[in-house]
Copies of this chain bind each other. A is one copy, B any other.
Amino acid sequence: MQPHSIWGGLLLAAITAMPTQAQDIAAGKMKAAGTCAVCHGQDGLAKVPDAPNLAGNNAVYLARQLNAFKNGERKHEQMSIIAESLSDADIANLAAWFAAIKVTATVPQ
C-alpha cells in the first residue's frame, strides 16, 4: 500500500466513524430525561434487568443501535416503539448525551 493510500484509508476510517448528524448534548440530555431514564437511568446506568447501561458508550454505537431499532433490524418490545418516533437529530443528540457521561470500571479481584 502506498503511503498516500494509508492516509486515505485513515481519513476514510475517521469519516465513517463520525456520526453524520450534528450533535446537541444539551438537547439529548433533555430528551433522555423523559422516556429513556425510566429503564436506562438519569445517569445512563440501567434500572431494569433487560436494559443495557448507556452511559459512556461510543456515540457511533449508540446511534447505530437506535437506528437499528427504528428500521426494525434490531427488535425489542419497548425500544422498537420508542425508536420509531425519534428523528435523526434526536438519535444524534441522545447518542452524544449518553456518550458524554464518563464511566469508570472496577474489575473484581
Q: Which residues of A are in contact with B by a Cβ distance under 8 Å?
A: 17, 25, 41-46, 48-53, 55-58, 60-61, 64-65, 73-75, 100-108
Contacts and interface: CB of A to CB of B under 8 A. Distances in A.
B103 A43 contact: no
A53 B57 CA distance: 6
17 contacts: A25-B108, A43-B107, A45-B56, A45-B103, A46-B58, A46-B61, A49-B61, A50-B58, A52-B57, A53-B103, A55-B103, A73-B75, A100-B108, A101-B108, A102-B105, A103-B104, A104-B106
Contacts of A51: 58, 61
Contacts of A46: 57-58, 61
A52 B108 CA distance: 20
B56 A60 contact: no
Contacts of A104: 103-104, 106
A100 B53 CA distance: 14
B50 A64 contact: yes
Contact of A105 (B48, B55, B73): B55
